[in-house]
Every structure is written in C-alpha cells, then in structure tokens.
Structure 1
Amino acid sequence: MRKVFISICMASSVLCWADDVCVSSPNGSLVVTVSDAGGRLSYSASLDGVNMLTSSALGLKTSIGDLTRDLKIQDTKQGFTAEEYQMRGTKAAGNKYEANTLTLDVVNKDGVKFGIRFQVSNNDVAFRYTLPRQTINRREYKRVRILSEASSFNFPEGTTTFISPQIGPESGWEQTKPSYEEGYSNDAPMDKASQYGHGYIFPALFHLPTGWVLVAETGVSGGYCGSHLSDYQVGKGYTVAYPDQGENNGFGNDFAAIPLPGETPWRTITMGADLKPIMETTISYDVVEPQYKASTTYQPGRYTWSWLIGQDNSINYDDQVRFIDLASTMGFEYCLVDNWWDQNIGRERIAELSKYAQSKGVHLLMWYNSNGFWNDAPQTPRNCMNTAIAREREMSWLESIGVKGIKVDFFGGDKQQTMQLYEDILSDANRHGLQVVFHGCTMPRGWERMYPNFVASEAVLASENLFFGEGATISEGFDLTLHPFCRNATASMDWGGIIMNKWMSTDNKSRHTRKTTDIFELATGITMQTSVQCVAMQPNNLQELPQFEMDYLRQLPTTWQQTRYIAGYPGKYVVMARQATNGQWYIAGLNAQKTPLTLTLDLNAYGNGLSKLLIDDKQLQPTQTVLKKDKKGKVKVTIQSNGGLVIY
C-alpha cells in the first residue's frame, strides 16, 4: 500500500490519511479521495465536507491482466487544466472549464501497469483509465480487450433514484430495442430491482439526503463501446456494465478493443447541494475534443413534422407540401419527411419537393433506417446508411438536391461496432454538409462537441408515444419536468415536438386529448434543448392558435449562450432561464403537479429586456400580458397544474 501524504484538503473537513491520495476542486469544496487499501482501488467524494459518494470501486478486467485486485499505486501527479471553448447547438455556447487533476500510476502483482486520471472541477468529477504499451514476461502488448469495468458509484443510505431501466436486446417493437426509451423511476429506493434485469441507462440522477448527484459518461467514439449501470448491490452501489452479447442482433463484441497506448471514455459525476449544478453542468463537453472540423456553417432552427399526428399516411407529396408551406408561413427553417418517402413519394419527386421547399425558404430533413440487420423494422429507405459505399451514394444525392439533414433510426445497442456506425454516419454526413439526428438509439456522449454536425438523439420516451396512447399524455408533465435535470442535462434531446393540437388526430377533434396547456407546450421549446427543434404544429393550427402564440413560435431561438437554474424538483416542476445567442433572456416554467404552483421570481439577473408574460389563467386559457415587476425586480406568478410560464 503506497503511503503518499497526510494533509487536510483546503476548504474541506475531509482528512486524507497516509494511505489515501486527495485531489480537490479549484475552489476546494469538492474533494476526491483515492485509496489502494487491501490491494483494491477505491474512491470517494465529498462536497463542502459532506459525503456524496461513499467508497466505490475502481479497476478493469482486461485480456492482459486483472486490474481489479492486488493493486498498488506506484506514483501520483497533481496538476491543473483550463480551457475556454465555443460550441454550437447546446445549452452553453461559451464555456470556461477549470479543474485540478490527479494522475495515478498503478501496477498489479504481475507487473501489468495502467493509469487513472481524475479531473475535479467545482461541481464535477471526471475520470478515465489509461493503458500504456508495455512488455510483460518478455512479451510486448500493443493492443488490449477491456472485458469489464469495476468502476462503481456508491451512495449514502437513504438515497432515492430517478433512473431508467436498460431493456434486453432484440426486444420491443420489431426487436428494435434497446433504444433508451423506457420510463424513469420517481424517488424510488436504490434497492429496487431494474424492470428488465439489465440495470439502468446513463444518465442517472440520485437524490441524496444531503443533495443531488448526476452520473453519466462522455467521450464515447467508434473506438469504444457504450456503457450503462448495473443493478444496485448493497455495499457496492451501481457498477459500470458493458453491452449485452445479444445487442446488434448478436453481431459484434460485448467488450471494448483498443490499441495501446489507449484510454477509456470518461465517467462523470456532477454533485450539488441543490439542483443548480445538475441543470447547468457542461462536463459532457468540457473533457472531450472535436473529432473533425465542420465542413460548413450548420444552421440551427425549427422544423415541422407531419408524421407525429398524420403517421405513415401523411408521407405523400401533397401533405409534405402542406407542411413545407406551414414551415414557410411560420418562418421555420426545416421540414422533416419521415419513413417510406422513397416508396410513397419516390426519389424524383423528392428532388422536386426539395426544390419547392427551397423556393419557400425551407430545407428538407430526410428519414432513414440505419440498416435493418439488427432489427426487423420494415420502414424504408433501408441499406443506405450501413456501409461507406451506400452512404457516399446517398449523401451525394442528398447534397445535390439541397437536403440539409438526416434522421437515422433503429440502431442495435451500445456495442463498439454500433458506435463505429454512429461515428461513420456523422463523419460522412459532414463531408456532404448534412446535420444528423438519431432516433431509436443510444444516449449521446459528448457528441455535440465531438461531431460538429451532430444535432441530437431521441434516447427518451418521446412525443410519438403521446399519439400511440393516452397514458403517455398523462405522464408528459412528469417526463418533461424531469429531463432538464437528467436526460437533457447531459446531452441534446430530440423529444419531437412542441405539440399544439388539442387532440391527437389530424382533424383535432378525435382520439385522445393532450393533457397539457398551450403555454406548457410553448415553454417546452425552452426547457427542452436541441439546436434543431421540432415544432409539431399542424396546418389547422394557423387558424386555431391565438396570434401571440404564433408570434412567440416564429421568434423562438434554439441555441443558447448560457443556461441557469431557477427552481424545480424532478417530475414536479421546473423553472429555468436561457440566454439566446443574440443576448435575449427567456424564462420558462412547467408545473406537473396536481395543484397550482405559486412562485416569486427574482428577475434582476436577466437585464431589462424582459417585457412579456405568457401564462395560463385559472380556466387554463392561454394569456399574454405585459410583465410587471415590483420595485425589487421580482414578479409573483402562479403556474397552473399541467400549465406553463414563459417570460421574454
């Protein structure tokens, strides 16, 4: 056991004993402690002297050795890293990242070496493993298989969860899962078994007796597999788990394979006494680097989408013209043409449709099946995105007719081979000036910064479910007040629609109703973050909506300079502020509770540009009034049940 030092980390009551190594955040409030006691590596973390992460395991099992036991820290190095960067299409365009670093050189009893690097900023911990090229018993190892990972996240007793279960492979509709589309727990105990016996997906939100912790991973490229969390084990917590062998229809590996020297993706932990650091974190982007340069200036914006309400029957030339016209009338930039377009419209007429759209100031986005081998989904076009030759042919054609983006659906899981497909699609699309949205897919992991033409992924129980059944309309409020603290806190989310129809039907008179108010829906355009936002209006809404609602949607921004937490509780309510890249502040609130919520909002931090208040009255009717602040710059508001608030 290596004896490193004895010190009390500044601004903390945590004592680092002789057998431990400590690294603190720049402001001293967050402290990570690493130990090799008993030949096992472990770490823990505290915030302002309060334990947030109890003793949790570290280590890997690899093809060149077991790096989970009989371990010894040989050397440590501490440092500091800082970076300022700009990025497009996420919740904070301008970021400044500062962190103290700790690098540990570790060896096992057989002489196999590896490293762990921690980066600790004021509310975030990121760590990853590094493996050098090395000679063991006179054999030089130039590559390695990472078979499993021991990294765990162990929380204090009394912690509750907002987490979503991982589902087994080749399950769900047409065997298209896992696709990160299951529901979330609601303050559930940690020892509750996962619904399908496969653990839980990233990101995962935990409510501690003393605060909040958000766990995720970032920096996953085609060079590694995606991971998730195991079920909870008493005394161990949640462990990083690799893909199921059955994912991707059984093709590919359930481990990661990397050349040496090599490294794993980052595991990230965001901690806060309240939810402010959780909502505002940018750690997913802070520790990754762009993988290539943008081939063009990609334009953010909004898109119309016929399929949400019209489904497959709406994928015809005339209906798509109507939705292009709708986008043009509203000043939206894009119209998404969904599945079956190659059969229902045909390629020649799609070229005509794209030309027509451009004449109206609109560009098309086109849907694709990722392939089909790893699922039984029949939707076409298929076999256009699965090989480099097919992609080059298809993307060249899309570029030639002026299409500006693609939506690729139905992937097969988290294996390294699937991650390679994501990366290949993104890289090839960039060459042709195409933005990319993924559906039926995994959680994005730092991709907005890594791949400049990446827009968002679905990876959530999304808006289509509101059409499929009334149950999803009932849970919409819970879902959309949770995601700013969890799913959307770590990555862009294509939930698929600011829904303005009252009824889930094209005639807006039949099937089941939407349970949220118009103002709730308008506010989701701010609380849901993606640089190309779906506004799921229908042509009939032009005659049905109040003028002020349409005026708001016409000017709705989709890229942001910064994001700030104001108030909230996952699944109950959220109030947040975003500053658009033009400097204008927007404040949005959602209330999913059964009773009205009255709040007093301090608006002093948001300048003098706020003038309009959109809010529901007691009869749940949408209203627009002049914003009236008191002498202290505060305003008292009441957000109705399943209602919303917008100030801009």
Structure 2
Amino acid sequence: MRKLLISLFFVSLTNSLQAQSVSVFSPDKNIKLEVSVTDGNVYYSLFYQKDLFLQQSPLGLLSSAGDFSKELKLVNHTSAKIQESYQLNRSKVSQVNYKANELKCLFTNASNDTIHIIFRVTNTDVAFSYLIPKSKKNTANCTVEKETTGFKLPIGTTTFITPQAPPSSGWQKTKPSYEEEYTREEPVGTKSQYGLGYTFPALFHLGDKGWLLISETGVSDTYVGTRLSDASSDGIYTVTFPQDGENNNQGPVTATATLPMQTSWKTITLGRTLKPIVESTASTDVVKPLVKTSKIFDAGRASWSWIVWQDESCNYNDQKTFIDLAADMKCEFILIDALWDTTIGKEKMTELVNYAKSKNVGVLLWYNSNGNWNTAPQTPKDRMNTAEARREEMQWLQQIGVKGLKIDFFGGDKQATMKLYHDILTDAAEFGLNINFHGTTLPRGWERMYPNFMTSEAVLASENLVFQQAFSDRYPSTATIYPFTRNAVSSMDFGPVFLNKRLNRNPDKGTIRKTTDAFEMATAVVFFSAVQHWGLTPENLKEKPTYLFDYLKNVPIVWDETRFIDGYPGKYCVIARRKNTKWYIAAINGENSTKKITVDLWMLKGKNVSIISDGDGQESKFSTQKFGNETKFNLELSANGGTVLFIP
C-alpha cells in the first residue's frame, strides 16, 4: 500500500510539472490572459469576454544566457497593480491614465538558468516582454539569438498586414523601407508576397468576435526590430529577427545587451470593434523617457515643394516661394528636401533660414542616412551615419537656426540600425533639432522615449500618388486602412492634403487625383503626424475657396483626445479628435460609390459647427449647423469623398 501511495505521489507531481497554468485579468475582467506550461513548453492564450481571441501560442527565446525555448518550469509568479499617469505633447492624446494588472512569471530551464516573462493587461491591451537577469553564471553581456514567441489566430481570421521586403531590393537597394501594400482580408496562413513574413503592426479580423492588432514597442539601441513570419501549417505567426542582408550585411542579426537584459514589448490590442485599436496608447504605456532635456520641440505644419514640384524645385527661388506659402498658411515649418547642398549650398541656405525666420517659419532639412547600406545618390549623405560627422553637421545646423531634420533611406531592423536611430535622436536632442525618419522602420514607442522624435514614414506614403497612377487610383481605399494599422500605433508622416487635379508642376502632366477636396481636408485629421507636410502648392490659394485654407491654418497637429466613431478598413473611416475644447470630426469614403452613414456626434451637443463636405465633382461646399440635444448626424459622402465637422 505504501509503494502505491508513493507511486501516486510521483504521478501527481509529474503531472503538475508537465501542466502548470496561471492567469491574469484586465481591470474590467473582460480580458483574460492564461499562461501555461505543457511538457516544458510555455504557452499563452487570450480571451475577450470568454471568447478565444488567441489560441495557445508559444513563448520563449534562445540566448547565450540559456535556452529558454524548451524544458521550462514555472517556479514562481507574482502579481501587481500598475497605475501611472503621464503626458504626451506630440501624440494623438495628451494625458494618459495607465492602469494595468501585471503578472510576472519566473521560469527555469534544464540547466537551472532563469528568465522572467512580464505581462501587462489593461482593459484594451496586452503587452509582454522577456527579462533575463544577472546570475552567478552570467554577469556581463547576453545575446538573444531568436525568439520563439508566436501568435495563433482562430480559424477564419483575415488579415490587414504588409509583407516584409527582401534586403537590398527595390530602388537603389533601399528596401526594406516598410512601404508595401496592405493585404485586404486575406485568410490567415496566406503566404506573404516575398515569402519573408510581415511587418508590424498587424491587424486581424476575427469575424463576429472582433478585431486584434499586434505590434512592437520599446526598442532603442539594445534590441533588434522584429517582425512576423509567414504562418506555420497550424496557423502560428512567429516573431522573426532581421535578415542577414539588411544594412548591407553589416552587423549581426542577433541582439546583445548588458545583463539584466530586457527585450522589446510585444503588444496586442483587442476588442469587439475597432475602437480600442484607434484609441490605444499601448506603444507608449510600457516605455519610459530615455533622454532628458530642457529644450522644447514644437509640432507643426510644413509646406513642401518636392512632393508636387519634385527635384527641380530644390533651388533658392522656389524655396523662397514655399517659405512665403508657409507664412501665408501659418505653417510652422518648410521642409527643404534632397539635393539642397548642391543646388542651394550651405552659404545660401543660411540666407534662406534667415529669410524664413523673418517670416516666422522654421526650416527642416533633408539628409540621406547612409554610409554604404544603399546606393541612393541623393545628397547630402555621409553626414548622419557616424558620430563625428553627425555632431559636426548638427552643430552647424544649430548655429544657423535650422529646426529639424528629415533623414531617409535606412533599410533594416538590425541592432546596428536601431542604434543609429537612437544615436541620431540623442545627438539631435542635444542640438535642439527635431527628427523625422523616412525609408524607415516602424517607430516603437519613440514619441515618449525621445523628446525630439516627431514622426516617421514606415508606410506607403504620398510620394506614390505622384509616382504611380495605380496607387492614386487605390488611395481612397488605402487611406481608410492606415488609421486602423500603421497610424494607430504612432505618428505617421504620409504627407496629405492635395488640391492639384494633377500632381505635377505642369497642370497638363502628372498623375490624376481621384479624391474630392473634402476628402483631402479630412485627411488632415484622419492622419495623425506631429509634423504634417501638406501637399499644397502656391496656385491652390488662387484656385480654391478661402474657407479651405482658413480651416487648414487652424487645424491642430497634435491632439488631447482621439475617438473612434465608425469605419471599416478599406471602406470608410470616421474619427474624432479634440484639441483643448474644440472637436474635429473627419470622415473619408474609400469606395468609388456614394455612401450614407449615420453617426452619433455627442461631442457636438449644443455647439455651432462648421462643415466642409462634398459638392459637385471634386469641389467642396461649406455650411454651418447648430447642434441641439439630438446629436445623430447623417454623413453623405461622395465616391472617394469626405466630410469635416469642426468647432470654429
């Protein structure tokens, strides 16, 4: 009998080691995260109101401090309530009250090495990160070789995600530049365009259950930027590290940092509707400011000759014209794009900066990022890729009064590239320069981490309206995807608001714009960027009604509050944003047919409201309305049209 009891005891003990689980709920109890260990493998599952949103998905990583991808045992776990209030001054919201329930799990592997996995669960988001502590065996640096983190979506899920491009491909070997087309409700498991997986953020539609957005945040110089693999045969997307060929084969694809070493945070935003995705602050909730400075970096609007007038406009006289346009439009900035160093020169640039100062306009200058990781010929180049050259250049820029930089052509997510981003931002903060990255990866929490980070492209942006008629034709639909994907997680420099019928300096040439004027006005609100580069040209002010420009002179760039009103990716989008006490509600129609939508604009109750809506053809019309207690409003959008309602 004693032998039988001993045998039963060991069976029970073994089973407890083979299958361990622990759970954490969101503060409102709607989200449940369950962590389990089965046969030494760690998994997590995610539920929303008892519906399964993520099936059992793997966790773990392989590192020089130990193999944490298998033979793991849950040794301990602790829980805590996290509550923090913080402010943002260059974002879609200004005040965040962050409340989360934290679960910290301690695991050991077969060699008794230790890793922590930290989970944070709010009412709308789940975030998790790995922490490798110091130990007697490991006291110095640690290299993470790969993650086994995965995401298993339910059968029937469809996707809105962009494929990863091959390294050193595309124009002048500048890819990956994170400027690919979004899928449009492709079934989960569909092979990506290049067979290299997908970039963050990734939006998934779980049918009647709801929506889920996966992204990454908290990457500076101590980790790589990751992406998603193609889905496995059982439907699991796995976190993947950079490719060897990125950064022209320079630098490892692994991540190395001093112990204790914490990885990036993977974030998951979920709900029945797209509301939590549009309104989420997950990308800034789990990061901290990295750079302290007393300098103030202002957001603002910018005139920009290159987008329509192209390279030929980068000359002294045309830039004076666009400085005047910026002054007329009350823009804070002018962006002077590539080739200025040869077509204008440093001496004449000093004159232009002084002329802009006399008009109360700040100058932003374009730079090529590269050393030799692409063959893009645009100059100035070789000024941002090394500390010595960069700091010398930034000192000159500070001396003549330049306000900020647009830096282009990065092409990769290796730690070496992420360190370059970090070093540029850190040095630029010292010299009082704001930063905009192009040809670039997704910014990962940088709005809070760096005081001078303004915006990044990391999307197929407005230059493609000029380059490709096919993109211009698709643009209305594409524009309704961005607010729920790329722009949901960070400032996005798309470069909106065009009023030229053809996107060329010659009105008889160039691609044909397919959107209405009201659609273009709406993108000033629908698209959020801390520096917003308008696609306006001087002739627009003579050709179009003054009410359009009165609106653009006053529309805010950064916001105190953002609210989802209605929408569906690829079809339409209605978003409300508030600055101080004034609300702006913008709607765009992504389809080539008229659309009628009834929305509840509760924030306009009792207010006098100005409305820019579709008129005849591409033209707009202006009206005013007094909202009473009834706040239901019937939006009537033309094909590829839009509407803006705002409190003047």
Normalised TM-score (structure 2):
0.96
From 129, 132, 152, the counterpart of 1:154: 152
452 and 608 in structure 1: CA distance in 2 versus 1, 3 angstrom threshold:
farther
SS, match of residue 478 in structure 1 = helix
Take 2:323 and 2:390, find their aligned partners in 1: how far apart are those partners?
26
SS, match of residue 418 in structure 1 = helix
C-alpha contact (below 8 Å) 2:218/2:444 kept by paired residues? yes
Letter matched to residue 48 of structure 1: Q
Shift of 1:593: 1.2
Corresponding position: 1:635 with 2:633 = yes
Equivalent runs, 1:552-591 vs 2, <5 Å: 552-580=551-579, 582-591=580-589
Take 2:276 and 2:545, find their aligned partners in 1: how far apart are those partners?
37
Equivalent runs, 1:293-332 vs 2, <5 Å: 293-332=292-331
* Segment drifting more, 435-444 vs 492-501: 492-501
Take 1:485 and 1:227, find their aligned partners in 2: how far apart are those partners?
20
C-alpha contact (below 8 Å) 2:20/2:74 kept by paired residues? no
**Structure 1 equivalent of residue 54 of structure 2:** 53
Letter matched to residue 511 of structure 1: G
Shift of 1:143: 1.8
Unaligned runs of 5+ in 1: 7-16
C-alpha contact (below 8 Å) 1:2/1:36 kept by paired residues? no
Take 1:574 and 1:29, find their aligned partners in 2: how far apart are those partners?
26
SS, match of residue 552 in structure 2 = helix
**Structure 2 equivalent of residue 25 of structure 1:** 26
Deviations 1:178-236 (A, max 9, x none): 01000000011112101111100000000002110000000000111100000011325
100 and 349 in structure 1: CA distance in 2 versus 1, 3 angstrom threshold:
same
**Structure 2 equivalent of residue 207 of structure 1:** 205
SS, match of residue 481 in structure 2 = helix
**Structure 2 equivalent of residue 473 of structure 1:** 472
Letter matched to residue 588 of structure 2: L
Shift of 1:601: 2.1
**Structure 2 equivalent of residue 42 of structure 1:** 43
Deviations 1:60-90 (A, max 9, x none): 0112322111110000001110110001111
**Structure 1 equivalent of residue 609 of structure 2:** 611
Shift of 1:628: 4.8
Take 1:54 and 1:173, find their aligned partners in 2: how far apart are those partners?
40
Shift of 1:141: 4.1
Shift of 1:609: 3.9
Shift of 1:18: 7.7
350 and 191 in structure 1: CA distance in 2 versus 1, 3 angstrom threshold:
same
Take 2:181 and 2:194, find their aligned partners in 1: how far apart are those partners?
12
Letter matched to residue 131 of structure 1: I
SS, match of residue 403 in structure 1 = coil
Letter matched to residue 134 of structure 2: R
C-alpha contact (below 8 Å) 2:329/2:553 kept by paired residues? yes
Unaligned runs of 5+ in 2: 1-10
C-alpha contact (below 8 Å) 1:302/1:534 kept by paired residues? yes
Deviations 1:281-330 (A, max 9, x none): 00000110000124411111100111011111100000000000000111
Take 1:279 and 1:566, find their aligned partners in 2: how far apart are those partners?
10
SS, match of residue 611 in structure 1 = strand
From 166, 169, 183, the counterpart of 2:167: 169
**Structure 1 equivalent of residue 196 of structure 2:** 198
* Segment drifting more, 227-236 vs 625-634: 625-634
C-alpha contact (below 8 Å) 1:404/1:433 kept by paired residues? yes
Take 2:495 and 2:459, find their aligned partners in 1: how far apart are those partners?
10
C-alpha contact (below 8 Å) 1:152/1:236 kept by paired residues? no
* Segment drifting more, 509-518 vs 126-135: 509-518
Deviations 1:543-583 (A, max 9, x none): 01111111111111101001000000011100010001x32
**Structure 1 equivalent of residue 527 of structure 2:** 528
**Structure 2 equivalent of residue 186 of structure 1:** 184
C-alpha contact (below 8 Å) 2:559/2:577 kept by paired residues? yes
Take 1:22 and 1:420, find their aligned partners in 2: how far apart are those partners?
36
**Structure 2 equivalent of residue 14 of structure 1:** none
Deviations 1:420-451 (A, max 9, x none): 00010001101111100000011100000000
SS, match of residue 560 in structure 1 = coil
- Aligned residue pairs total 634
Normalised TM-score (structure 1):
0.96
C-alpha contact (below 8 Å) 1:2/1:72 kept by paired residues? no
Take 1:257 and 1:274, find their aligned partners in 2: how far apart are those partners?
39
**Structure 2 equivalent of residue 383 of structure 1:** 382
C-alpha contact (below 8 Å) 1:584/1:609 kept by paired residues? no
**Structure 2 equivalent of residue 454 of structure 1:** 453
Equivalent runs, 1:208-247 vs 2, <5 Å: 208-209=206-207, 210-247=209-246
Take 1:350 and 1:229, find their aligned partners in 2: how far apart are those partners?
43
Take 1:146 and 1:493, find their aligned partners in 2: how far apart are those partners?
30
Take 2:307 and 2:195, find their aligned partners in 1: how far apart are those partners?
31
Shift of 1:372: 3.5
Shift of 1:346: 0.5
Shift of 1:333: 0.8
Take 1:43 and 1:112, find their aligned partners in 2: how far apart are those partners?
21
**Structure 1 equivalent of residue 393 of structure 2:** 394
C-alpha contact (below 8 Å) 2:458/2:492 kept by paired residues? yes
* Segment drifting more, 64-73 vs 317-326: 64-73
Shift of 1:620: 4.1
* Segment drifting more, 610-619 vs 412-421: 610-619
**Structure 1 equivalent of residue 107 of structure 2:** 106
**Structure 2 equivalent of residue 94 of structure 1:** 95
Name the % identity: 46
Letter matched to residue 523 of structure 2: T
Shift of 1:599: 1.5
C-alpha contact (below 8 Å) 1:88/1:452 kept by paired residues? no
SS, match of residue 90 in structure 1 = coil
RMSD: 1.7
Corresponding position: 1:74 with 2:75 = yes
Take 2:15 and 2:618, find their aligned partners in 1: how far apart are those partners?
63
SS, match of residue 162 in structure 2 = coil
Take 2:235 and 2:78, find their aligned partners in 1: how far apart are those partners?
28
**Structure 1 equivalent of residue 7 of structure 2:** none
Take 1:214 and 1:618, find their aligned partners in 2: how far apart are those partners?
38
Equivalent runs, 1:589-604 vs 2, <5 Å: 589-604=587-602
2 and 545 in structure 1: CA distance in 2 versus 1, 3 angstrom threshold:
farther
5 and 456 in structure 1: CA distance in 2 versus 1, 3 angstrom threshold:
farther
C-alpha contact (below 8 Å) 1:407/1:437 kept by paired residues? yes
Deviations 1:496-544 (A, max 9, x none): 2311211111133322211101110110000111111111110111101
538 and 247 in structure 1: CA distance in 2 versus 1, 3 angstrom threshold:
same
Take 2:311 and 2:191, find their aligned partners in 1: how far apart are those partners?
37
Take 1:27 and 1:610, find their aligned partners in 2: how far apart are those partners?
36
Shift of 1:617: 2.8
C-alpha contact (below 8 Å) 1:295/1:433 kept by paired residues? no
Shift of 1:3: 8.7
C-alpha contact (below 8 Å) 1:74/1:105 kept by paired residues? yes
**Structure 2 equivalent of residue 515 of structure 1:** 514
Take 1:50 and 1:3, find their aligned partners in 2: how far apart are those partners?
31
Letter matched to residue 38 of structure 2: A
C-alpha contact (below 8 Å) 2:606/2:626 kept by paired residues? no
Letter matched to residue 459 of structure 1: A
98 and 3 in structure 1: CA distance in 2 versus 1, 3 angstrom threshold:
farther
**Structure 2 equivalent of residue 12 of structure 1:** none
SS, match of residue 203 in structure 1 = strand
**Structure 1 equivalent of residue 4 of structure 2:** none
C-alpha contact (below 8 Å) 1:375/1:410 kept by paired residues? yes
Take 1:563 and 1:604, find their aligned partners in 2: how far apart are those partners?
14
Take 1:606 and 1:59, find their aligned partners in 2: how far apart are those partners?
49
SS, match of residue 216 in structure 1 = strand
Letter matched to residue 69 of structure 1: K
Letter matched to residue 422 of structure 2: E
412 and 158 in structure 1: CA distance in 2 versus 1, 3 angstrom threshold:
same
